[in-house]
Structure 1
Amino acid sequence: MGQICSNKIFNEPGYSDRIMFQSSRNYSSEFGSLKYEYSKIDMVRKLCPKSEKTKGKLYPNGYSYNMRLDMSVKNSKEEISWGFSSPISVGDQIYGYSSSILSEELANFSYSGLLNISYNIGPTFATRISPFNSTLSRPYEKFQISAEGIYDAEIGSLCMVGYRDFSSDNKTQIIGLDCEILVKLNFRAINIKNEDHINGSIGSTRLKSDPLYFELLDLSSTAFYSDEASIWRMDVEITLVLISSTLSCVFVGLQLFNVKRHPNVLPFISLVMLSILTLGHMILLLLNFEALFLRNPSKNMLIETGGWIETNEVIVRGVGMVDFLLQFHLRQKTWAA
């Protein structure tokens, strides 16, 4: 928040009244220790009970760019407007526009469990169809709704309690905030191809007789997901490779320990076998050399939804290097014998 003030004297040409402004959106990626404090989570739990998980479906990561939406807003008369929504904070971190922040937070996120989240929602209405009793003379007006609630990544459900500042555009001339707005969004699964849209609603929890009550608004957004299912499969594959490489290190280590205790068995070990195994580990290391020492520009597209995969690949290559060195050492000892 802030203000703009004139440094001229009242009645002096060019003088203007003080202007106060505020916004919940901040495009800076450097927030330091700034934290978002949630205050409506208990209310959200009462209004939106937890649903059962649907088996076989995966939903967007709460820290990914898929949480930002361009959406259409439709009233009961099928009149359509548009809007945009973006997280303010996810968990205890401010939602960043920097890939480094996203990749760091992704590593701490699990697809199971609930995640606190806050949003900035900006629907834009033609003044004549605005559900918020607007008396503004402009043909279109963007309203800002700030909301906070819970995102359930197991079922792709987002439920939030929001508020709107209506002091400047309502007919009742009441100054304040309408803090009884309920926002719901149902994200589509990322691994189901026949689900195309994200659906939701913005509604008032007030009685119809209340002057601040407004009709239910339907939200819809076309989901253009990055392939998070493929990212998840890549992670599983990398985990399996890491397990097999670790076991290989253990077994070669046991072989070295055994030939140290029984050096007479060395002449009976096949040099051809050891050469093929050593060559196989060396080829894998050469093919993935950039993962160890270079930053591969072609992998930048993974940072949005799975940048931490590159870190896992470096770990795998590190274990592969150890495996190669052990195998090479065993071949040296066998050759010498």
Structure 2
Amino acid sequence: MANPMVLTENTSTREGERGSDFSELSRRMTEAGLLRRRPFYYTVRFASVALTLGGGVAAFLVLGDSWQQLIVAAALAVVFGQLGLAAHDLAHRQVFSRRRPSEAGGLLVANLLLGMSYGWWMNKHTRHHANPNHEGKDPDVAPDILVWSRRQASKAQGIPRFIGKHQAALFFPLLTLEGLNLSFSSFKALRSPSMKRPLLEGTLLVVHFVLYFGGLFAVLSPGKALAFIAVHQGLFGIYLGSVFAPNHKGMPMIEEGTRLDFLRRQVLTSRNVRGGVLIDAFMGGLNYQIEHHLFPSMPTPALGRAQEITERYCAELGIPYHQTGLLASHREALGHLRSVGEPLRNAR
């Protein structure tokens, strides 16, 4: 799976040929009760994250101007990662079935607590879910600093061309900037016509950073504050990348003009990560990426049972279903990055 595989018209199943396949899987999920809301689970989970965040802030205030704050910075990077996963579940209406409470919770967690635009991320993530690993439609595989296919590598120029040669080795170092990149992109998106509430979102973002930077520089000396930011934002970016990169990177890419039915489009481009309770907590249920893409609003605690049903159903239909361990998933993703960058390394 680490090769830069491409799904073309010859390897696809046309939309109308097997259109009922997903309906049958959906029926099985409904009969198993896996689409029901789980309010108790989310109450406990969100309360735990909130208490941990409060504990981190309290520890920060108690320690004062000390280099021990770097431990707090590392701990809060994990908490911020969990907040990102909470915002993700809210956006998919896994927590609330109605739009208003989901949106209110998303704005609170994403904009105010994380410093990331909920509206911008929702727009981007919705397009990703509709067309995962589609070069022309999935923003997560659009060429930027990194290239995701040999076609993109052949067109890369400047800094992306240089980084593309070594992108597998540079992937995790670049992730240290991902948290800052999300915030920068959020502020940039406030001017976009697609932003529904730019004033509200912008205000919440400003409040977040006033409190974040104001608190750091009020309590810590400038050097310690900058070190705190570097550790906190760097580890936060690595955490996010470690959760999201294994899901699709290194899985087949879809070429323009290829038509797949919904079931195959989601299953063939996604990868599950095995690992039990610890991986479930670390990745917030996104280790069941295939099932999440098939049923985005399915609550996290139902995904494990859904995985068993989906894998068995795919076997009935002869659809390849891919899952592996966490380390192996990263090897596959990095192997893909190395492979698609090969033409750049061989170019004169």
**Which TM class, normalised by the smaller chain length?**
under 0.3
Bigger proportion of residues as helix: 2
- Using the size of structure 1 for normalisation, the TM-score is 0.22
- Using the size of structure 2 for normalisation, the TM-score is 0.22
Bigger proportion of residues as strand: 1
